[in-house]
Amino acid sequence: MEIQEIVSKQKEFFKTQQTKNLRFRKMYLEKLRDVILQNENLLYEAIEKDFGKSKFDTFTTEISFILNDIKYYLNNLKSLSKPKKVRTNIINQIGKSRICSEPLGNILIIGAWNYPYQLSLSPIVAALAAGNCCIVKPSEIAENTMKAMVKIINENFPSEYLYAYEGGINETTELLKLKFDKIFFTGSTKVGKIIYEAAAKNLTPVTLELGGKSPAIITKEANLEVAAKRIVWGKFLNAGQTCVAPDYLLVEESVQEQFLEMLRKYIQEFKYEINSENYTRIINSKNFERLTKLINKDKIYFGGNSDQEKLYIEPTILTNVNWNDDVMQDEIFGPILPVISFTNFNLVLNEILEHEKPLAAYLFTQNSEEKEMFKNKLSFGGGCINDVMMHLGNENLPFGGVGNSGIGNYHGKFGFETFSHQKAVLEKATWGEPNIKYPPYSEKKLSWIKRFL
């Protein structure tokens, strides 16, 4: 079947109102959970083929996320979808006011390759929970995971409700010519602009989950041991191919030597090394070449080796870096960690403010004044104090960017709202209304109105 035909069928199916039924939504959320569990090995094998990601990392950073999302919506669907009563103001008496969440309709989800399951399936979970029909286009860059998702979705779900579409740039371009009620995109800022432009032609609302250069600041008041351990994990997990990974470090000069030693120690302790089963490959040779070019040999503090054939790049720390270096121009999205030292905390915050708003920011300190300055002065999608990336693991927090790092957010109730329209409904009694608002007007009526409003 042609994709245009599937989109038309989804539009017809949405009109039948079946997806609004809570039992229907729960049934398919449970089905998705069961399909994932039944095909767990297929999912592990596909991601191993694509970029050597371990079963452990795939479960902890992808599968468990999706299963938790499903559990969250199964437990909270009733309260999320219930109309919310709100106060009715005096001019609308006698009346009742409610906000009713209604599904937007037909959704297009476009995924990225770096956490291929989480980034395609988690938005699907939220979209179905909110009562929509959905088409997902996973990233063709991780070909095996894309094929695995296409298989498990299309073999188990009616295409008029949920359909996975296999394709690259050409297919996505065609898809973007069709009209949807919402486009949810995860990927680069560059492609995000293409999506936004295409969506604008149909006035289609978008959520754009993009990237950016996310800083981690380590002050002399930090617990350095904890900071080093958490940063090494967050930066080199998935070989740095993580949108919220610390992109670069800003380290207070007086503790830099000591801190760098700790980073080295944890990289070795975690066995983040070429050919290790704990470590992930670079997705393709294009990215491998882009990344190896960013390694300035004169600035290597640790690592720097790579294996072109197997597409591994060793965890690499660069020191004596400055803001004008190539590695500081764009999001790195790989296992290269530039370190810039600073002496003045306030000035370093000002430097960050000179750049585009990042998707994440991290601060390591025990000093409450520094914590306040970090929270109040910087603008970023989301972040942590004394940790990295774990804010994503709390479904009570929204996940999304700001400025160049994205538009909108999801996770937990925010995901439900992202795929819903908040419909305002005022219900009036048919009695007890003063005639004052109706013509013919008079000075006397106006003076009463002025007192009321």
Rounded CA separation 372/106 (Å): 42
Parallel, antiparallel or unpaired: strands 312-313 and 306-307: antiparallel
Binding of ligand NAD by 186 (CB under 6 A):
yes
Nearer to ligand NAD, 194 or 436 (CB): 194
Total site size for ligand NAD, rule CB under 6 A: 28
Q: What is the greatest pairwise CA distance in the chain?
A: 87
Taking the complex as a whole, the smallest distance from the CB of residue 119 to ligand NAD amounts, in Å, to: 5
What is the number of residues in the chain? Answer: 453
Could you write out the three-class secondary structure of 433-452? CCHHHCCCCCHHHHHHHHHH
Residue placing its CB nearer to ligand NAD in the complex, 25 or 147:
147
How far the first Cα of the chain sits from its last, in Å, is 58
Q: Quick one: which of 161, 180, 333, 374 contacts ligand NAD (CB under 6 A)?
A: 333
Task: Identify residues 406-435 at the interface with ligand NAD (CB under 6 A).
Answer: 406
Q: Of 282 and 339, which CB lies nearer to ligand NAD in the complex structure?
A: 282
Q: Which lies closer to ligand NAD via its Cβ, residue 210 or residue 255?
A: 210
Asked whether position 165 contacts ligand NAD by CB under 6 A, the answer is no
Interface with ligand NAD, residue 210, by CB under 6 A? yes
Q: Binding of ligand NAD at residue 194 (CB under 6 A)?
A: yes
383 binds ligand NAD (CB under 6 A): no
- 333: Cβ–Cβ under 8 A, 6 or more apart, which residues? 114, 211, 240, 241, 243, 287, 291
Q: Which residue is it, tokens 């390591």?
A: 364
DSSP 275: T
Which member of 252, 331, 387, 395 binds ligand NAD (CB under 6 A)? 331
State how far the Cα of 419 lies from the Cα of 415, in Å rounded to an integer. 7
Beta carbon nearer to ligand NAD, 210 or 263: 210
Nearest CA among 453, 447, 395 for reference residue 72: 395
Peptide bond into 94 cis (omega under 30): yes
The candidate with the shortest Cα–Cα distance to 278, out of 289, 291, 269, is: 269
DSSP per-residue letters across 309-377? TTTEE--EEE-S--TTSGGGTS---SSEEEEEEES-HHHHHHHHHTSPPPSEEEEE-S-HHHHHHHHHH
Is 30 annotated in the active site?
Answer: no
Residue of 63, 80, 107, 110 that binds ligand NAD (CB under 6 A): 110
Comparison of 266 and 399: residue with beta carbon closer to ligand NAD: 399
Residue 134 annotated to the active site: no
Q: Indicate which residue of 209, 314, 370, 417 is catalytic.
A: 209
Judged by beta carbon, residue 28 or residue 185, the one nearer ligand NAD is: 185
For residue 79, the one-letter residue type is S
Distances in Å between the Cα of 358 and the Cα atoms of 274, 306, 338, 374 are 29, 28, 16, 13
Interface region with ligand NAD, contact rule CB under 6 A, candidates 15-23, 164-172, 264-272, 360-368: 164-172
Is residue 169 at the binding interface for ligand NAD, with CB under 6 A as the rule? yes
- Catalytic, out of 48, 134, 143, 243: 243
Does residue 140 belong to the site contacting ligand NAD (CB under 6 A)? yes
Distance of closest approach, residue 393 Cβ to ligand NAD, in angstroms: 14
According to the binding rule CB under 6 A, does residue 174 interact with ligand NAD? no
Beta-carbon contacts of residue 174 (< 8 Å; ≥ 6 apart): 3
Candidates 33-41, 58-66, 113-121, 258-266: pick the segment binding ligand NAD (CB under 6 A). Answer: 113-121
Residues with catalytic roles:
209, 243
- Give the interface with ligand NAD as residue ranges (CB under 6 A): 110-114, 119, 137, 139-141, 168-169, 172-173, 186-188, 191, 194, 209-211, 243, 331, 333, 359, 401, 406
